[in-house]
Amino acid sequence: MSISGAGFLLFLTAAALLYYLVPKAYRRFVLLAAGIIFYLSFSPAAGLCLLFTACFTFGSALLLGRLHRLEKSALDGGDADRKAVKARFRTRRKRLLAALLTVNFATLAVFKYLDPWLAELNDLFGLSFRPLNLLLPLGISFYIFQTSGYLIDCFRGRVEPERNFFKYALFVSYFPQMIQGPINRYQSLAPQLYEGSDFDADKIRLGIELLLWGMLKKVFLADPLADAVKEIYANYTAYSGFSVFLGAALYCIQLYADFSGGVDVVRGASQIFGIEMAENFKRPYFSRTLDEFWRRWHISLGEWMKDYLFYPMALSGAMGKLGKAARKRFGADFGKVAVPALCTLIVFLAVGVWQGPGLANIAYGLYNGLLMSFALLVDRRVRAFKTRLKIKDSSRAYRLFGVARTCFLVVIGRYFSRSASLYDALRMLWRTVRYFGEGLGEGNPFTAFGLDGGAWARVLFACAVLFAVSLLQEKGIRIRETLAKKPWYVQFVPLFIAVALLVVFVYLNTDYTAIAYVYESI
Amino acid sequence: MSGKKWLFMFALTVFSVLLLCAGFSILVDPFGVFGDPLFDWYSYNETNNPRTAKLAYLEKHHGEYDSYVIGSSSAASLDPNELNAYTGARFYNLFVYGCDTKDYCDFASYILGHYEVKNLILNIGINEANTYDEGEDSYTGRMHARATDRSELFFYLSYALANPRYAVEKLISRAKDTDVPQVFDVFDAPTGTYDKRLRDVEQIGDLKRYEAAHGADFAVSPETAGLPYIEECAASVAMIRDLCREKGVNLTVIASPVYIAQWEAYDEGTLSAYKTALANETDYYDFSLTPISYDSRYFYDATHFRNAVGSMILAEIFGNDEVWRPEPFGTLVTAQNCAGYLDSLFQSPPVPEESDHTASLPVLMYHHFAENPENDMTISPEVFREQIKALADAGYRAVDTADLIAYVRRGIELPEKPVLITMDDGYLSNYEIAWGILEEYGMKATIFPIGSTFGNREFYKDTEYPIKPHFDFDEAREMLASGVIDIQSHTYDMHAWPPFEEDNPGARSDMLPLDGESEEAYAAAVRSDLETYDAIRKREFGEDFRALAYPSGLFTDYTEILVHGAGIEVTFSTEAGKNTLVKGLAQTLYALRRYTVTNDTTPDELLGWLEP
């Protein structure tokens, strides 16, 4: 069931009607049933994988909880050496957690990485491992991270392990998040799911509006660019460096409209059930630094990495020692940023691996990590330089410069994350630099890859609308809330346009083929 | 606005958008399922989906018909007008493209159950056993719900909520519509056939040219899967046979002609199984493999035979010897004779000789003759005599347009070395000089006089501009009576000399449309000119004319459609080159090429042109 199709809307409507029709105590069962139906409509086999993860992490959390309880009773029992008891249990919990996470991530590794890496090994060393040809279960990258976060929280004692499997299964299988996240936190999502929501027309309205907006982004901006981008990345040798760069820039637009559009649909659908999900995007292309970009792009992944990878790593004993050694060896300034820089590099390496198994993805992570570590390392000098030149961070020109620089760096990064291989990404970069103007005189470099004048006009118009809306949001205006206060006819016009566009060009349009979301295959 | 009110507005918006889309699709009705209230444009609707639109058309018009043809697009060339002439019935051709035999059954059950039906012709093509019960998922391939047991409510609802693009495209096409069929309106609504007027004026005599233009349409790849639905096909035929028996309807089954590459795409076993399965259910006329199968000119493409072949089929079934057919052509296959028939078909396939059904024809074009030619387009008597003598000595025999028509229509052979001599404009010198010389050598010629300048001796029409003298009606009658000269047409007044016609800004020097002239105005002008000329010819010579030489050799496809639509059987261009006439294909007489003979043309040069 594609979430762009009329089938999803009917399914959603039916589920929402049923949800609010049954008594509140039973609403969670409606969501659980909907999740199972939704997931099985994609792939029954992948359902087994989801079921395994749900059972495994459910049981694991109970084990972790048991250790907590044992520790508590040991301490309550008046054991003399409280410190020793704590340390003992901490070690036991740590070992258990390590084992549990290994199993959980192994599931992901088997499905997502094993075949590509076997192929890579075969390639490199002339081996002949047979591929398993496993299909990537839908949403596995999201639910493995989500459940791992839950286990870590149970380990830390921040979350009481859920004892009701049906409740926990709903947390794992809540259908709006299945396609492309966001990666939700147990503490914020689970209570909403378990408790059930009261019918709140205002919330439903916000949900519908967000869903419509997400669909518009996907259908009128992301999809029209998909073929052109695919063409350039597949046949970059046929195009000038300029067109290749343009292709990567268009991919940035496509990916944003696609991913953020998809998450809007998902969050909107969730809001219809009165359930708020984590926000995943905050107009990332307005960022002035790459660091800021990553705090505004795919936020739920970034937060996950920060909480479950960056901080544990940065605050670990090993890193503490390393920091001390660095301060000793290179001085206080450098020593202070050495650990964060190293941790940033490792986190982005992980982000790269999360994106996909290829070397290009690892390079993508390294590219971002290195740039940001470098920025950390030279930060003090840059500040001094700016002070000397009397450049103010708050000046309009410097802000614009920052945005342009960030966008440029992001575009270059997309050479890696979309290419077929690292080799192709590097060749594309080389082509951009070496053959930037080649053949620009002949033919139109803007239309060479299949976007004709009409398509450009439509895409630019859609971009302009998205930009205008984003600008308003950037200024702190809450569009939906502001609109709700206007007279009915002011509200009616955009609603009518959105509904008419979607009905005519998507739901009644039998020629419309939903292009899969980019992050659907992650 | 409260959330509840907003939700109400949202529901209302969705509903009204759907309602607007539905209203638009119903009014414009691109598939004809809602009676096409605005345009009544069934040639368009049928092009989109003939299953829905033809039944919708019949809902309105079934009172005008009492007999039907059912088949896939290979039945398109069975002309209801000819059928009506043979049977006295009122036929409608209910063929639809991409039809399978499930559709046949649906159609037959529906029309036999709901309409008055006297005769049913069932046309079975070779590909009918290739698919069964397909297309229900698409707007363009779905059968009308009335002819199936599917829900009518769902049917109408799905077309009301069809992709609005279809309705938009119909509006755009409406703006582009012309008299001539285009890709979006290929049907002729009253007969149900394809409107082949454009395709049937194409010059197809020259096989090389034809193959260059359409070769790709004749490429067929072998059907490795064979014919998977032979059983279903035979069962469908049996079902229709029983239905016709029950209702007392006269059923004729035809297996239609197949182009050789299409035939050879299947192996012998598959074809035999198919033919035998059909014969076990009903007797049928088998036209599938005959001498015409070996010549692509008898086909529009690998799976569609020409309208002219449709005429041959009907002539064979109804015994009309005025229409040429090759030998053998069509066999009534029964369960008894089927095995023997197939044996002989596969053992000695009816491969024809090219010369059995084609003839090469050179045509010469003259204008004026004079003792002292002022230019090389005027021929001196001596030169003309030499040229004609050379032709006669070389064994060429002159023919006229009636001979060409007899060859093409009835297969009456031409002389071994035929030549057609033509003279344009109707100069008196044709009468005074050429006629005598032709008679002397036993040759004949066809003159194309301009209707409006008959008998102009001194002046151009009623002006005071001098003109080369033209012969008058008496002289023309005299020449006609001799049997040497045939008088046809160079138009009544579409070869004027505009500088002499200051008062007539609409004067035409040729048959091309004027700049900015509307299609209607042009068609009216051409028709009126042809009618005027015909009236004169009838009045003065007592018979219709049948041939026209295009002034300056200029014409468009639409001119050809108008001219042949008015009953003119032969037309001439001025393009140099020989012509190939093909028996049974009247359009090989269209826009015949002609060699321009000048006063400088030596006899050897002339004979060189004519050599095979």
Quote the ipTM score.
Answer: 0.88
Say if B505 is an interface residue toward chain A (CB within 8 Å).
no
Provide the shortest C-alpha distance from residue A344 to chain B (in Å): 45
Cis before residue B328, ω within 30 degrees of 0?
Answer: yes
**Residue B165 to residue A511, Cβ atoms within 8 A:** yes
Are B3 and A509 an interchain contact pair (Cβ–Cβ within 8 Å)?
A: no
| B2 with A204: Cβ contact below 8 A | no
Would you say residue A347 lies in a domain?
A: no
pLDDT reported for residue B352: 94
User: Which single residue is written with the structure tokens 């921040």?
Assistant: A158
Name residues whose C-beta falls within 8 Å of residue A116's C-beta, 6 or more positions apart in sequence.
A356, A357, A358
Domain final position from A196, A216, A241: A196
Helix (H, G, I), strand (E, B) or coil at A266: helix
pLDDT of residue B127: 86
| Bridge partner list, B470 | B427
Q: How many CB atoms lie within 10 A of CB B442?
A: 11
Predicted TM-score of the model (pTM)? 0.82
Mean pLDDT of all residues belonging to chain B: 94
Residue A26 in domain = yes
Cα–Cα distance measured from residue B82 to residue B65, given in angstroms and rounded to the nearest whole number: 14
pLDDT of residue B133: 82
Residue A513: both structure tokens together: 């083929």
Q: How many domains does chain A have?
A: 2
**Res. B98 pLDDT band, cuts 50 70 90:** confident
Q: Which among B4, B7, B13 is the nearest to A496, CB-wise?
A: B13
Report pLDDT for A230: 92
Tokens of A132: 């398993």
Q: Has residue A266 been placed in a domain?
A: yes
Domain that holds residue A131: 12-196
Distance CA A72, CA A75 (A): 5
Residues in chain A: 522
Which stretches of B93-229 are DSSP H helices? 101-114, 152-160, 164-176, 207-214
Q: For residue A509, give the nearest of B13, B138, B165 by CB distance.
A: B165
Confidence of residue B347 (pLDDT cuts 50, 70, 90): very high
Residue whose entry in the numeric block shows the structure tokens 């094993």: A114
- Looking at the structure, do residues A272 and A189 belong to the same domain, yes or no? no
- At A521 the pLDDT is 66
Of residues B244, B254, B249, B316, the one with CA closest to residue B284: B254
Q: What tokens appear for B469 in the block?
A: 């003298």
Residues A92 and A235 in one domain: no
Residue B598 clears pLDDT 90, i.e. is over it: yes
Find all residues with CB under 8 Å of B18, minimum gap 6, and list them: A503, B161
Q: Which of A196, A217, A234 is the last residue of a domain?
A: A196
Whether the CB-CB separation of B99 and B49 falls below 8 Å is answered with no
Q: State the pLDDT confidence band at B154, using cuts at 50, 70 and 90.
A: very high
Contact A488 B9 (CB under 8 A): yes
> Same domain for A183 and A225?
no
Q: What is the DSSP letter of B427?
A: B
Q: Are residues A31 and A102 in the same domain?
A: yes
pLDDT for A472 equals 95
Closest chain A CA to residue B166: A509
Two structure tokens written together for A129 = 């491992």
Please report whether residue A323 resides in a domain: no
Contacts of B161 in chain A (CB under 8 A): 508
Q: Write out pLDDT tens, residues B426-459.
A: 999 999 999 999 999 999 999 999 999 999 999 9
d(CA B203, CA A20): 72
- How high is the pLDDT of residue A337? 86
Best B1, B12, B31 residue to mutate vs chain A (most A CBs within 10 Å): B1
pLDDT top residue among B199 and A238: B199
Read off the pLDDT of residues A100-116 as tens digits, 9 standing for 90 and up: 999 999 998 888 888 88
Question: Quick one: which H or E segment has residue A70?
Answer: helix A44-76
- Indicate whether B524 pLDDT > 70: yes
Contact A491 B139 (CB under 8 A): no
- Which tokens go with B263? 């035939």
Q: What gap in Å lies between CA B606 and CA B364, rounded to an integer?
A: 9
**Distance from C-alpha of A368 to C-alpha of A363, rounded to nearest angstrom:** 9
Is residue A492 less than 8 Å (CB to CB) from chain B? yes
Q: How close is the nearest chain B Cα to the Cα of A511, in Å?
A: 8
Whether residues A82 and A177 fall in one domain? yes
Please tell me which of the candidates B3, B162, B164 has its beta carbon nearest to residue A205. B3
Q: Tokens at residue B480, please? A: 């006609």
**Cβ-Cβ contacts under 8 Å, B4 against chain A:** 201
Contact B14 A503 (CB under 8 A): yes
Q: What is the pLDDT of residue B104?
A: 92
Q: How far, rounded to the nearest angstrom, does the alpha carbon of residue B129 sit from its chain's CA centroid?
A: 28
Instruction: Determine the distance in angstroms separating the CA of B134 from the nearest CA of chain A, rounded to an integer.
Output: 18
Backbone angles phi, psi at A396, to 5 degrees: -60, -45
Same domain, A192 and A255: no
Q: Looking at chain B, how many residues does it have?
A: 612
Q: pLDDT above 90 covers what percent of chain B? A: 88
Nearest CA in chain B to A13: B11
Q: Are residues A239 and A206 in the same domain?
A: yes
Residue A315 lies in a domain: no
Q: Cα A461 to the chain's mean position, in Å?
A: 26
Last residue of a domain, one of A176, A196, A216: A196
CA pair distance A479, B414, nearest whole angstrom: 86
Contact between chains at B9 and A492 (C-beta distance less than 8 A): yes
What is the distance of C-alpha B486 from the center of its chain? 27
Residue A183 and residue A53 in one domain: yes
Tell me the pLDDT tens digit for each residue of A453-489: 889 999 999 999 999 999 999 999 999 999 989 999 9
β pairing state of B397-398 and B378-379: unpaired
CA B181, B186, B190: angle at the middle one, nearest 5?
Answer: 100
Cα A215 to Cα A5, A278, B158: the distances in Å are 10, 19, 23
Q: What is the mean pLDDT of residues B403-417?
A: 96
> Using CA atoms, how far apart are residues B395 and B382, in angstroms rounded to an integer?
20
Residues A101 and A236 in one domain: no
Would you give the end-to-end CA distance of chain B in angstroms?
90
Nearest CB among A202, A499, A511 relative to B163 is that of: A511
Q: What is the pLDDT of residue A124?
A: 80
To the nearest 10°, report the CA torsion of B281, B231, B98, B341.
-50
- Residue pair B52/B75 in contact by the 8 Å Cβ criterion: no
Instruction: Tell me how crowded residue B349 is: count the other CB atoms within 10 A of its CB.
Output: 14
Any CB–CB contact under 8 A between B12 and chain A? no
Per residue, the 3-state secondary structure of B20-69, as one string, reads: HHHHHHHHHCCCCCCCCCCCCCHHHHHHHCHHHHHHHHHHHHHHHCCEEE
Contact B13 A495 (CB under 8 A): yes
Which portions of chain A are predicted below pLDDT 70?
79-80, 441, 521-522
Lowest-confidence segment of A70-84, B242-256, B395-409, B426-440 by average pLDDT: A70-84
Round to whole Å and give the CA distance between A207 and A212: 9
CA distance A268 to chain B (A): 14
Tokens of A157: 């004692």
Count helices and strands in chain A by DSSP H and E runs = 22, 0
Using the beta-carbon criterion (under 8 Å), do A511 and B18 form an inter-chain contact? no
Evaluate if residue B514 carries a pLDDT over 80: yes
| Residue A496 forms contact with B (CB below 8 Å) | yes
Which of the two residues, B217 and A394, has the higher pLDDT score? Answer: B217
| Domain residue ranges in chain B | 3-254, 356-610
Q: Does domain B356-610 match CATH 3.20.20.370?
A: yes
For B159, the closest chain A residue by CA position comes to A508
The yes-or-no verdict on residue B511 having pLDDT over 70 is: yes
Which pLDDT does position B291 carry in this prediction?
97
Flag whether A284 is in a domain: no
When CB atoms are compared, the residue of B4, B17, B139 closest to A201 is B4
Token output for A392: 């103010």
Residue A388 located in a structural domain = no
- Chain B interface, best mutation among A493, A501, A508, A512, by max B CB count within 10 A: A508
Per the domain annotation, does A298 fall within a domain?
no
Query: How far, in Å, are A490, B503, B550 from residue B575 at the CA level?
Result: 69, 33, 11
Contacts of B167 in chain A (CB under 8 A): none
